[in-house]
Amino acid sequence: MSGQRTTASDPYFPANGDPRYRVHRYELALEYRPGPNRLAGTARLSAIAGRAALTEFHLNLAEFRVGRVLVDGRTPHYAHRGGKLRIRPAKPLPAGAAFTVEIHWAGNPKPVRSPWGGIGWEELTDGALVASQPVGAPSWYPCNDRPADKASYHISVNTPSAYTVVAGGRLLTRTTRASTTTWVYEQPAPTSSYLVGLSIGMYQTVLLGDPGLDGVPQSAHVPAHLLPRFSRDFARQPAMMRLFEELFGPYPFGEYAVVVADEELDVPVEAQGLSLFGANHLDGVRSSERLVAHELAHQWFGNSVTIADWRHIWLNEGFAKYAEWLWSERSGGHTAHERATAAHRLLAVSPQDLLLADPGRKLMFDDRLYQRGGLTVHAVRCALGDGPFFRMLRDWAAVHRNGVVTTAAFTAHASRYATGPLDELFAAWLYAPALPPLPSASPAAALPAMPGYPPSDGGPGRGSA
């Protein structure tokens, strides 16, 4: 496990998160009524103070009504304004001390404003879902909203019994009393606040693959009328799981679920052990299959191995993009080098003002970051050769499982698998805006195709979250 915890505010979102302490567990008890879109919750946070005594600290929470706050069972001074809950304990918390925070809140959840529009809690026509990347988590619960602060989660949701509740992690219990049902989920793996997924809707639950054969339990929660298309579009996900375990190492969590909302979503979004898709990503002919691969790959790259702050987002999106190309290569479609060639052609006629290792908040979700990130991973593959490259990938995922990483950590890691210096390669691809030349094909040219699959459709698509 990586120990690279940062002690500074995120440079892209300095108002989010508090590096003076860290949370190691959240226990959330929620009641949600879809009709009036009413959410009431209690959160219990188990946290540890940093290297200095805490006379005050803050959490991020949207404009709910806060009913009560306790620190170690005592009422502190607190103020809740502008999406921040500032808390001053009755007595300063010593450096390194463990402490608990209890917060009661209620109101009508809605997305928080961001440069990309509203993100976080989204009320649907019949239900709700959460897609929090990068700073939407405070739209529904109080949190230390920074990607490096990873914690385990216990989530209880009470809602009318007609609805299915899906959260990342293992479903512990489902208890019905009168007209409501309480769903309880446990996610023991350290999880960033933006990766806590939740969906409430009218879903049919189906299993994918054979857990005895595939190893990882995979489920899907889909509106009944979309099941025929879903069964075609997601038919190859179990094969993706087998391939990615071969290439990246064991799946890092206990289970994997997908939700298809009965709404259109701009892009699918990853959460820990969970991915959220829209009805528009189903057409019965697998047009969005690359996105299925992309979101699954994030479970290794982004979710288990998590960036220390948002400057390093290419480590999430470049690896997930390259996983799309590897799936294409192994499922009988275009090789990764052919995909890279198409992506390079696209970038060559695009503006050359993106610094991959530090794109800035404005460009952190730019399509070019996805494509150039995939090309950078391909350049490393070409430089290392397939054997060392895939050993490097598996070791990266293993060494930093449940941990926090930076671009510098990756470049140092990859360099250990090279026969010569990679400094010029990384300087060109990560730290200069001009597009470097297309790398030559890797020595293996293409991985052997997985048997039994027809060719995939071609062409590099747009980036997904």
**pLDDT, tens only, 269-304:** 999 999 999 999 999 999 999 999 999 999 999 999
Tally Cβ neighbours within 10 Å of residue 430: 21
User: Quick one: pLDDT band at residue 443, thresholds 50, 70, 90?
Assistant: low
pLDDT tens for 224-265 read 999 999 999 999 999 999 999 999 999 999 999 999 999 999
pLDDT, residue 447, reads 59
For the chain, give the percent of residues with pLDDT over 70: 93
Domains of the chain, each with CATH number or no CATH: 21-297 (2.60.40.1730), 306-430 (1.10.390.10)
pLDDT, residue 448, reads 59
For the chain, give the percent of residues with pLDDT over 90: 90
Q: Token pair for residue 183?
A: 């769903």
Q: In what order do the strands lie in the sheet with 77-81?
A: 57-60, 84-88, 77-81
User: Quick one: pLDDT band at residue 450, thresholds 50, 70, 90?
Assistant: low
* Whole-angstrom distance, CA of residue 100 vs CA of residue 195: 22
Name 49's bridge partners. 21
Instruction: For residue 294, give every residue at least 6 positions away whose Cβ sits within 8 Å of its Cβ, in sequence order, or none.
Output: 268, 320, 321, 323, 324, 464
pTM of the predicted model as reported, rounded to 2 decimal places: 0.94
- Ligand-binding site membership of 334 (annotated): no
- Ligand-binding site membership of 298 (annotated): yes
Whole-angstrom Cα Rg for the chain: 22
- Tokens 């619960």, residue located: 141
Q: Higher pLDDT residue, 165 or 6?
A: 165
- Ligand-binding site membership of 186 (annotated): no
Instruction: Say if residue 453's pLDDT is above 50.
Output: no
* Beta strand pairing call for 170-177 and 127-131: unpaired
Instruction: Say if residue 463's pLDDT is above 60.
Output: no
pLDDT, residue 237, reads 97
Q: Poorest-confidence range of 2-16, 26-40, 438-452?
A: 438-452
Average pLDDT, whole number, for the chain?
93
pLDDT tens for 186-234 read 999 999 999 999 999 999 999 998 876 778 999 999 999 999 999 999 9
pLDDT, residue 456, reads 41
pLDDT tens for 381-427 read 999 999 999 999 999 999 999 999 999 999 999 999 999 999 999 99
pLDDT tens for 48-95 read 999 999 999 999 999 999 999 999 999 999 999 999 999 999 999 999
First to last CA, the chain: 25
Q: Which residues are catalytic?
A: 295, 370
